[in-house]
Amino acid sequence: MDPLTNSTVLVLQFDSKKSTITLGQGILASISSLIPYKQWDVIVAIVSDTVYTLHKEAVDHSLALIDAIPINYNDTEQNKSYAHAEKYFNQLLEKHCTRNSLVMGIGGGVTTDFAGYIASAYMRGIDVVYVPTTLLAMVDASIGGKVAVNIKAGKNIVGYFHQPDYIIIDVNFLHTLPQSEWRCGMAEVVKHALVGDSSSLEILQHKEIQYGHIDNSLYNCINSSVRFKASIVEKDEYEKNIRAILNYGHTVGHAIESLFEYTMSHGEAVAAGMLVESYISMKQGMPKADFDTIRDILSTYNLLPKISFDPRLIINHMIYDKKNVKGKIRFVLLESIGKPRIGCEVNDLLLMEALNFYLAMVEK
């Protein structure tokens, strides 16, 4: 059977360009039918070393179909840096890339983010295609056009909005996904569910998803999560209003990542951030039953990292958060599950209480 027969296609229309998302199983083998590869003079694919090791045959076959040149990438947060990017700009020049060339990113969120940044900055911006290979990249990192690299002072400080022309989501990559990466992706699925993706919420509450099972429940959850994020970013490409709800869990999460110098995964940090921000939400009026539901979902999928930190240092790291306004730390909080509020201020005493609650809970 043609793998494209049962695939899902979403076409997003932004002010800057059109972006097409294709979701399916085994669809990478049909890449020459998914993108108009002949329109670009040179195609360079930045490929995660991890993915290439696990899926060499599939990657080589697909790149050969579109005459793409692979460039390997050691996909760590340390290598998603402003300093590291220059090496790749030089490689694009060596491959004779022009303003009519294409960069592809094949890998997890670090790889697609890095490839997107390279494409956004090279010759003031060239086209980019993503092939996300982790659950987190499929439902979150590859969608929406945010691209950035890290500097010593913080995560994702230098970047642009640069929409991908195409996103190819092949769930077959998930067969080799480690459990730690699975949890990272599930954290973003949970985030979408809590800020408005009711279909995913129902699947999560029924505990239908199991690690390593690439079945209809997982596919439907990915499909719903992708559609939810796509619908939000299409309405608000540059994060002027509603798109900010997708930062739920990220104010605390990014501070945790920064404090741990990016040795902790993004998904784990965001999961911790969601619980802390849910606690704050409860203290500001969210029903306790909703807080209990959130804690139950995060615990069911084993998403909460058992970490120790000084809450004062977490608060200090929030100073660099991009969502801050006039020096005030801003949060996304919940009135209830599915009803987020943006731009919320929280006093330091309540924030300390919430962080200490988290520490006490994971120590049990």
**Separation CA 231–CA 228 (nearest Å):** 5
Asked if 165 and 19 touch (Cβ cutoff 8 Å), the reply is yes
Task: Indicate the DSSP class of residue 241.
Answer: S
136: left (phi over 0), alpha (psi -120 to 50) or beta: alpha
Is 239 a known active-site residue? yes
φ, ψ at 285 (rounded to 5°): 125, -10
**Measured torsion, CA atoms of residues 338, 110, 145, 124, in degrees rounded to the nearest 10:** 160
Per annotation, catalytic residue among 155, 162, 183, 243: 243
347, two tokens = 């006093």
Per annotation, catalytic residue among 192, 229, 323, 330: 229
Is 188 a known active-site residue? yes
107 forms beta bridges with 132
Is 254 a known active-site residue? yes
Task: Indicate the DSSP class of residue 264.
Answer: S
Per annotation, catalytic residue among 124, 152, 206, 364: 124
Per annotation, catalytic residue among 250, 317, 323, 330: 250
**Separation CA 305–CA 363 (nearest Å):** 10
**Separation CA 132–CA 173 (nearest Å):** 9
Is 317 a known active-site residue? no
Is 250 a known active-site residue? yes
Per annotation, catalytic residue among 254, 317, 323, 330: 254
**Separation CA 276–CA 274 (nearest Å):** 5
Strands 8-13 and 18-24, sheet pairing = antiparallel
Is 364 a known active-site residue? no
Residues 6 or more apart whose CB falls under 8 angstroms from that of 53 comprise none
Per annotation, catalytic residue among 80, 155, 191, 266: 266
Per annotation, catalytic residue among 77, 181, 239, 268: 239
φ, ψ at 48 (rounded to 5°): -55, 130
Asked if 247 and 341 touch (Cβ cutoff 8 Å), the reply is no
User: What DSSP letter does each residue of 147-161 carry, written as one string?
Assistant: EEEEETTEEEEEEEE
Is 356 a known active-site residue? no
Asked if 40 and 104 touch (Cβ cutoff 8 Å), the reply is no
245, two tokens = 């709800």
- Residue 197 CB neighbours (<10 A): 26
Per annotation, catalytic residue among 79, 150, 223, 247: 247
Among 153, 68, 150, smallest CA distance to 117 is for 150
Per annotation, catalytic residue among 77, 79, 80, 146: 146
69 forms beta bridges with 44
**Active-site residue list:** 124, 146, 188, 229, 239, 243, 247, 250, 254, 266
